[in-house]
Amino acid sequence: MAHPVVRWQALVRDPDQAASFYAATFGWSVDDRNALGYRAIPSAGRGIGGGIWPIPDGQPMVQLFVEVPDVEAALAAASAHGGQIVMPRQVLPDGDEMAVVAGPEGIAWGLMRPRA
Amino acid sequence: MLREEFERRRRSNPRFSLRAFALVLGIDSASLSQVLRGRRAVSPRAAAALIGRLGLGVAEIDAAANESLRSSHERRLLRQIAVPGFVPNTRRLARRLRLRGDDVNAALTRLLRSGRLTMLSPARWAVVPEERR
């Protein structure tokens, strides 16, 4: 795969409740020792890691993140092919870059470029 | 929500004026005008009272109060971010603003999505002026 899916994110109304549910059901543990208090759920070897974030609006959902070498270029490609930019490129406090685009039917994908 | 209701009433009666709407709501028309143009904030309690006067249901009052609360979180967050020496840290912001960290992060996400805020580098966030959005 040219640009791999590298992370998932549960966008929920009650992140504490979601974290407890995932811990009890899947045995996942949360690490929120970071600047944004992001509830990161690292992968334990197999599979991809993810995290939990409070949903700003709308229905709770799971969002996937695609790793790209250049976030701005990926946004431009998405726009040129009829996608919508949901969130422009941001540089997170840990140095990762991210953005969110929606495809033709509105499915929102995160784009990310890990810090160099 | 007030703006939508005003527009709805105007569509059914083009002569329905801002002054008439202010009379229905029991506030002066200058204040209403500022509220409708987004130049004046309404507290959650006041918003619920205004919508109550329109005869709307509990769910709509809840939605309006929630919207008003969220706008207030966003405005307070932007003011804090604009303070010199601002440190991009959710827990710190939550303490300063006396909000839950999740409320700070949800407001942050709305601001980023609407282009009102941008994270330029790990240590630098910038409030985007209206004309540059």
Q: What is the DSSP letter of A16?
A: H
Give the residue ranges of DSSP H helices in A27-108.
71-80
Tokens of A24: 């009890």
Record: contact A15-B102, CB cut-off 8 A: yes
Q: Which two tokens stand for residue B51?
A: 């919508």
pLDDT tens digit sequence for A59-114: 999 999 999 999 999 999 999 999 999 999 999 999 999 999 999 999 999 999 99
Average pLDDT, chain A: 96
A87–B contact, CB cutoff 8 A: yes
Nearest CA in chain A to B106: A56
Neighbours of B85 (CB within 10 A): 4
Is the model's pLDDT at A12 over the cut of 80? yes
Other Cβ atoms within 10 Å of B40 Cβ, number: 12
**Is A88 near chain B, with CB under 8 Å?**
yes
pLDDT at B57: 66
Name which of A39, A20, A18, A21 is nearest A30 in CA terms.
Answer: A39
> Does position B68 have pLDDT exceeding 90, yes or no?
no
Closest residue of chain B to A92, computed from CA coordinates: B122
The yes-or-no verdict on residue B8 having pLDDT over 90 is no
10 Å CB burial of residue A62 (0-12, 13-18, 19+) is: exposed
| Helix B29-36, helix B18-25: angle, nearest 10 | 100
How many Cβ pairs within 8 Å bridge chains A and B? 52
**Separation between Cα atoms, residue B111 and residue B108, nearest integer Å:** 5
Query: B126 at the A interface (CB within 8 A)?
Result: no
Would you call A53 an interface residue with chain B, using a CB distance cutoff of 8 Å? yes
Average pLDDT, chain B: 86
Q: Which residue of A has its CA nearest to B118?
A: A90
Closest to A65 (Cα-Cα) out of A27, A29, A38: A38
Chain segment B27-53, per-residue pLDDT in tens? 888 888 888 887 787 777 777 777 777
Q: What is the structure's pLDDT at B132?
A: 75
Residues 61-120 of B with CB under 8 A from A: 88-91, 94, 101-103, 105-110, 112-113, 115, 118-120
Task: Return the pLDDT at B40.
Answer: 80
**Cα distance between the two ends of chain B:** 23
Contacts (Cβ under 8 Å, ≥6 apart) of B59: none
Q: Is the pTM of this model over 0.90?
A: no
Residue B62 pLDDT exceeds 80: no
Give the pLDDT confidence score for residue B52 in this predicted structure. 76
Q: What is the pLDDT of residue B33?
A: 87
Q: Do B90 and A56 touch (CB under 8 A)?
A: no
| Residues B112-121: tens digit of each pLDDT | 999 999 999 9
Q: Cβ distance A19 to A39 under 8 Å?
A: yes
> What's the pLDDT tens digit per position in A18-32?
999 999 999 999 999
Query: Given the DSSP bridges, would you call strands A97-102 and B124-127 parallel, antiparallel or unpaired?
Result: unpaired
What is the value of ipTM here, to two decimals? 0.94
The closest alpha carbon to A86, from A69, A71, A103, belongs to: A103
Residue B115 identity: G
**Residue A33 exposure: Cα atoms within 13 Å on the Cβ side:** 3
